[in-house]
Each structure stands twice: as structure tokens, then as C-alpha cells.
Amino acid sequence: IEHQTVNTEEKPYSCSECGKRFNQKSNLVLHQRTHTGEKPYSCSECGKCFKQKSHLAVHQRIHTGEKPFSCSECGKWEKPYSCSECGKCFNRKSNLALHHRIHTDEKLYSCSDCGKCFKQKSHLAVHRKIHTGEKPFSCSECGKCFINKADLIKHQRNHTGEKPYSCSECGKCFNNKSNFVLHQTIHTGEKPYSCSECGKCFNNKTALVKHEKTHTGEKPFSCSECGKCFNRKSNLAVHQKNHTGEKPYSCSECGKCFNNKAALLKHEKIHTGEKPFSCSECGKRFNRKSNLVSHQSTHSGEKPFSCTECGKCFNNKVSLVKHERIHTGEKPFSCSECGKHFNRKSNLAVHQRIHMEEKPFSCSECGKCFYNKVALVKHEKTHTEEKPFSCSECEKRFNQKSNLVTHQRIHTGEKPFSCAECEKCFTRKSHIAAHQRIHTGERPYSCAQCEKSFTQKSNLLAHQRIHTGEKL
């Protein structure tokens, strides 16, 4: 009788919990375990429990090493179920069925709360916990809680340092499978995800989704503290640590702390000297992928990021964002010591050394120390007398490109820096800064001897000769 219902499509067995109907009693019994959470089949080797006997049987192959579809001649594991769309093979029919949904984009399981659809029931179950706030899996080491056990296991590897996935190509190890799979595409060169807008290809869907937001301008993640919006959740999480001051990632070499792991990893390369990213064009190596990408555009000449205000183009988005602050006047980085604001984080870092009296960059020729590397490089040219930059107008030579650019304004008459108060224009940024003190009344240079203040450093130096008795 039960067999006949399979052919007639009759479903006489209904679930008292949700009303779902089945054509066999055994299927109803299996289904009811999703409500009761019952897992009657346990592994004698590790104690893991399963709802179905077949799932236990598959699991036990991990312990026995059994490969039921293997060749008796060579031991190669057969995967008898192949996808008619792309040819990929699977050892289970159920895995093939799941895989097919990638091609059909079929999503059978929808969330009753928000309507989001999923290809797999297990993914829906995990998603629902977002609405319920349920995080049943907690770390015994630090107490952090997770929606699913897989995330907990991944997290615990941060404590144990375990990296079970190793690349057969280069030997690099990973603590989670997704990163391992991503890494392997570096060797294969596979980039199956392409942008429908510009055709750019990516080796993972997450990277494609992030990229697509550059076309739409969508920034769905906003900070509850200051309202700033982001196109990535990870960027929002990093930003929020600016408000909390949290820096949970510390360098084991020097103790310096960071608010995100990526920044720590970048920093650690300073100690190791590691430069894993090399340019295929000229072989130059870099410690950051972003620096490699920027460098590669010097070969291609590509500058895809343009300023909507003045049309100037850049080879990377970071440079564009920094440039746009010239137009907006935005200075998001402030010094906690004196409150001075800066439009770049690097400028703030250099400024803070004034308070700490730190000068980490020293000249190997004369020992003079500097706050930043740029100043050191400029200084070193005074020893070599190297002047690689020449003016096409009068052939005068300079040891710095910035000095050449400033000099050329004598010929062009260009004065790009204008005062917002009186509209007077200047050839140099330092000149406008000094001029603006007339309007603000600011006198940042004070004499340590008599406390008299000045708008310009040169005036302070001239004044100090009164105390020293020095004569020019």
C-alpha cells in the first residue's frame, strides 16, 4: 500500500507540527526530527549524532577511510554523478542536486520573516537565527557566541592556531576551507565570477558583490554613532572601533595594537620583511596586494577613478578619496593631544611624533633624524647632490619633484591656493597657511625664553637671536 502511494502521488501522512504532507510514513518520521531535534544515530568513534542512518554511514567513512566508489585497480575515488551543465562530478546524488541550483538559481527555501530565499534548507535554518538572535554555540576560551557550530569551530582555531587545510601546490596552510579554496584559484588562475557592468572577473562571489557596489554606489551599512555609511559590513565593524577605541589585535614582536586583523598582518610584514606580492611585468615585490595593484597601473597607464569635481584621474580609489578632501576640506583625523585635524591618517601619525619627540628615520651619512621617511629621502639628496628633476622652460634642476612643480609656477603664473577669507592667491600651500593666520590671529610659534608668539617660524628664529646675541 505504501509503495502504491509513490506512484499515485498521494500523501496520506501529515506532520502535526507544521502540516507538511508525505507519501511514506518513514519520511514523516524523519521530518518530525527537525521539530524535535532528535538525532538517534550516534558515531561510536567520536560521538557525533545524526537524524538519519545514511548520514551516519557517510560520516563514518571519515574514520574508516572507506571510499565506496574507488577503483580496485588504482584506488582512485570515483564520482559517478556528473553535472550536465558544467561536467563537475560528485560522489552523492544529493550533492549533485544541490550543485544544479547554482546553474538554475533555484531557491526553494524562503524566510517567512524577511522573504530571503536559499538553495539549501540548512542555510535557511542558519539565517533564521539572525531574526531570533539565537547564538547557541559559545567558545569555552573567550565566551564569544555563534549562530552555527561551523563558525565556532573556525573561531576556535584562532586560539589553537590550527590550520588543517594545506595547499599541495605551495604548502601554505589555512584555518578555514573557504580561504583555502580561494587561495587555490591563485594557482589555477580561475575567475568564474564576472561583473555584468564592466566585465571584470573575480575568483569569489563575495569579491564580485563588493565590486558591484562601486557601480551602484550602494552603502547599506551605517554607523549608529556618527551616521557614516559603508558598502561593506567589515569596513563598518573596523570604523566602529574608532568610537570604542578597541584595538584587540597586538603585534607579538613590538606590542603595537590594531583595531583589525588585516592591519596587524600588514604591520607584521615590517618585522619579517616579507613581500609576497610580485609584479608579473617587472618582478618588483610588495608587502601589500593594494600596493601591487597600484604599481601595475604604472605599466598599463590605467586610471579608472576620476574626481567628479575637477576630473583628475587616479589609479586607485584610496588616492581619489584623499584627493576629494582637497575640495570638501574634510579633515577626519584629529590629534588626541592638541586637537589639530588632518585630511590623511599618515599626516596625523607624523604629527603625533612631535608630541612624542620620536624621530625614527635617521640619515646613515650624518646621523640626522626625521619624523618621516619622505623628509629623510629629501635630506639624503643634499649629500649626493643628485638633482634628477629639470625645468623644461629654463633647465634649472631640482632634487625633488615637488620643488620643480612649485618652480614651474613662476613660468605659468599659476597660483592654485586661494584664501577663502579674502580670495588672495598663492603659489605654495605653506604661504597660504601663513597668510590665513592674519585672519585667525593664530601664533603657533612661541619663544621658550620670553613666551612671545609669532605667526611664522622664520620670525621666531629672528627673534631668538635677541636672547642668544647671535648676529647674521
Claim to verify: residue 384 and residue 249 sit in the same structural domain: no
Domain ends where: 323, 352, 384? 323
Above 80 in pLDDT, residue 86?
no
Claim to verify: residue 227 and residue 303 sit in the same structural domain: yes
Residue 452 counted as domain residue:
yes
Domain ends where: 323, 339, 356? 323
Claim to verify: residue 299 and residue 443 sit in the same structural domain: no
pLDDT tens digits, one per residue of 40-59: 888 887 778 878 887 787 77
Claim to verify: residue 369 and residue 430 sit in the same structural domain: yes
Cα 335 to the center of its chain, rounded Å:
25
Q: Domain containing 265: what range?
A: 93-323
| pLDDT interval class at 68 (50, 70, 90) | low
pLDDT tens digits, one per residue of 282-333: 888 887 777 787 788 778 777 878 888 888 888 777 788 888 888 888 888 8
Q: How far apart are CA 413 and CA 422, in angstroms?
A: 19
Residue reference for cell 573561531: 155
Above 80 in pLDDT, residue 145?
yes
**pTM across the whole model:** 0.30
pLDDT tens digits, one per residue of 270-282: 777 778 788 888 8
Claim to verify: residue 119 and residue 157 sit in the same structural domain: yes
Residue reference for cell 546553474: 103
Helices (H) and strands (E) in the chain, counts: 17, 32
Q: In sequence order, which residues have a C-beta less than 8 Å from that of residue 374 and are 6 or more positions away?
A: none
Residue 124 counted as domain residue:
yes
pLDDT tens digits, one per residue of 382-393: 777 778 888 998
Claim to verify: residue 156 and residue 7 sit in the same structural domain: no
Domain ends where: 298, 323, 348? 323
Residue 266 counted as domain residue:
yes
- pLDDT, residue 89, reads 75
Above 70 in pLDDT, residue 259?
yes
Mean pLDDT over the full length of the chain:
80
- pLDDT, residue 388, reads 81
| pLDDT interval class at 369 (50, 70, 90) | confident
Handedness of CA 63, 66, 69, 71 (dihedral sign): positive
Residue 97 counted as domain residue:
yes
| pLDDT interval class at 120 (50, 70, 90) | confident
- pLDDT, residue 49, reads 81
Claim to verify: residue 305 and residue 334 sit in the same structural domain: no
What are the two backbone dihedrals, phi and then psi, of residue 397, each rounded to the nearest 5 degrees?
A: -110, 150
Residue 30 counted as domain residue:
yes
Claim to verify: residue 110 and residue 250 sit in the same structural domain: yes
Q: How far apart are CA 454 and CA 403, in angstroms?
A: 26
Query: What CATH number did the domain enclosing 45 receive?
Result: 3.30.160.60
Rg (the chain; Cα; Å): 32
Claim to verify: residue 357 and residue 319 sit in the same structural domain: no
Residue 264 counted as domain residue:
yes
Q: In sequence order, which residues have a C-beta less than 8 Å from that of residue 305 and are 6 or more positions away?
A: 313, 314, 315, 316, 317, 319, 320
Q: How far apart are CA 360 and CA 383, in angstroms?
A: 20
pLDDT tens digits, one per residue of 176-189: 888 888 888 878 87
Q: What does DSSP say about strands 313-314 and 305-306: parallel, antiparallel, or unpaired?
A: antiparallel
Residues across the chain: 472
Claim to verify: residue 151 and residue 196 sit in the same structural domain: yes
Q: Is 123 exposed, middle or buried (0-12, 13-18, 19+ CB in 10 A)?
A: middle
Least confident of 45-49, 162-166, 338-342: 45-49
pLDDT tens digits, one per residue of 402-425: 888 889 989 998 888 888 888 888
Above 60 in pLDDT, residue 74?
no
Helix then strand then coil, in percent of the chain rounded to 5, is 40, 15, 45
Residue 14 counted as domain residue:
yes
Q: Is 324 exposed, middle or buried (0-12, 13-18, 19+ CB in 10 A)?
A: middle
Q: In sequence order, which residues have a C-beta less than 8 Å from that of residue 251 and are 6 or more positions away?
A: 257, 258, 264, 267, 268, 271
Residue 84 counted as domain residue:
no
- pLDDT, residue 283, reads 84
Domain count within the chain:
3
Say which amino acid occupies 379: H
Claim to verify: residue 395 and residue 302 sit in the same structural domain: no
Above 70 in pLDDT, residue 471?
no
Strand partners, 277: 286
Categorise residue 105: left if φ over 0, alpha if ψ from -120 to 50, beta otherwise: left
Looking at 329-453, list the stretches that DSSP marks H as alpha helix, in order from N- to C-terminal side: 345-356, 373-384, 401-412, 429-440
Claim to verify: residue 346 and residue 296 sit in the same structural domain: no
pLDDT: is 75 or 56 the higher one?
56
Residue reference for cell 607584521: 268
- pLDDT, residue 6, reads 47
